[in-house]
Chain A
Amino acid sequence: MGDDRLRLPRGYRRLLACYPAWYRRVHEEEMLAVLMTAAPSGKRQPGIAEAADLIWGALRIRCQPSRADTAEPVWRDALAVLSVIVPLIVVVRFLANEARFLLLMPAPGPLANGFPLWVLNAAAAPLVLGALAPLGLRLPRLAALAGAGLLTWLIYDLPGGRFGIAVGDVPMVLAAATVTFALAVSGGPRRGLQILTWKYAALVTVATILVGTSVVPMDRPDRLVARLIVIIVIGAGMALTSSLGRWLVLLLAVAAYPVVLFTGLSLFPPGLRASLAFLPLMAAYYLPPVAVLLVAARRLGLRLWAGGKRGKIGA
């Protein structure tokens, strides 16, 4: 009987978990009090309309700008910067690889017999991702929706027609996921450009060119290693100077993880590479970034499951 009375507040708390952690710290108990006061006696669980209203409210609060004097959480700013950088990196990488491909092909080349469809296919994803940055400058939430669409398209691997995640697209999938997430919850490219001081802009430009042109492992291993060392030094520099730098490095590492892994693998002799089984490789690709994201989500208060101690009133 006593347990029955606890069902309703527990149900409300589950819904309130959708609200941002900073908001819940201040308002959760207050909102719960209002919800419980408004609930007729004997009510066992939140109704559908109530649930929808709370979820909608949570979404709106996440999208609202916060006070100027309240410090914007650093990870949000880092994501805002990423919403500028990641599309840039993807486009640079695409253009660099295409330029290399087209330059190395003997004449007349692939464009001789009219415009081949596969060029469009290969170009579509990076260019769409690149376009999300300028779109996000004006309409960040719409750009987030577009990013979600791109992500779905990439995961479904529409050109191939199979349902599954193409291994070769892993960097693109993570890049698209990062940009979509950044556009949805952060201040978007507008805020990102505000934050990118000349110091970061310079570091990012150098890193972009290095990352953008080093992916295709046709390079000699020593050149590749030299590039990786420069990138690591830049990353360390950013991480040591500020908490924003640390967040940027962490998030970029998560997004670029498969690129690093793939590049590292390419240093191994081909025979060894071929013997690596498929499933462990997929796990190595996806589990670490997914685990990091789950931990981060948990820390940010996005409770994926009920339970846990709650703060006391006044704490």
Chain B
Amino acid sequence: MREPTFLILTALAAGPQHGYGIMTDIAQISGGSVRLRAGTLYAALNRLVVEDLVEVDREEIVDARLRRYYRLTSGGAQRLSAEVDRMRRHTAIAATRLGLLGGTA
């Protein structure tokens, strides 16, 4: 799973969010190292919607501007969960090996 995809799913795991909210959330999650722009974000969202991992939650008009909220589908939650498990296994192995080598605890 690509990093932007993972971060978008993670952002939505907390609850429905709109595009700008997802962007700021991702910046926060990644500690400022990943800055997703609108073009990349919406291309990824489009793919996620097509794959049924994300769906539209609701729409609002705020300050005369259209705001559309997205949320995880159950399929999306499952995919994210599976990816987290996968990464956990890998990081655990890495940490163990580094521990054996006397690296970071």
Q: Which residues of A contact B (CB under 8 A)?
A: 23, 27, 29-38, 49-50, 53-58, 60-61, 64-67, 313-314
Contact = CB atoms under 8 A, between A and B. Distances in A.
A31 B40 contact: no
Interface of B: 18-20, 23, 37-43, 46-47, 49-50, 61, 64-68
Given A34-B19, A38-B23, A55 B66 contact: no
Q: Does more than half of chain B's interface fall in helix, strand or loop, or is it mixed? A: helix
Given A29-B66, A61-B46, A67-B50, A56 B40 contact: yes
A34 B39 contact: no
B37 A33 contact: no
Contacts of B20: 33-34, 37-38
A165 B61 CA distance: 53
Q: Does more than half of chain A's interface fall in helix, strand or loop, or is it mixed? A: helix
B46 A53 contact: no
Nearest to B59: A30
B36 to A, nearest CB: 9
Contacts of B46: 23, 61, 64
Contacts of B19: 30-31, 33-34
A61 B66 contact: no
A34 B38 contact: yes
B69 to A, nearest CB: 10
Contacts of A38: 20, 23, 38
B40 A33 contact: no
B100 to A, nearest CB: 42
Contact of A57 (B18, B23, B42, B68): B42
Given A38-B20, A56-B39, A61-B42, A30 B64 contact: no
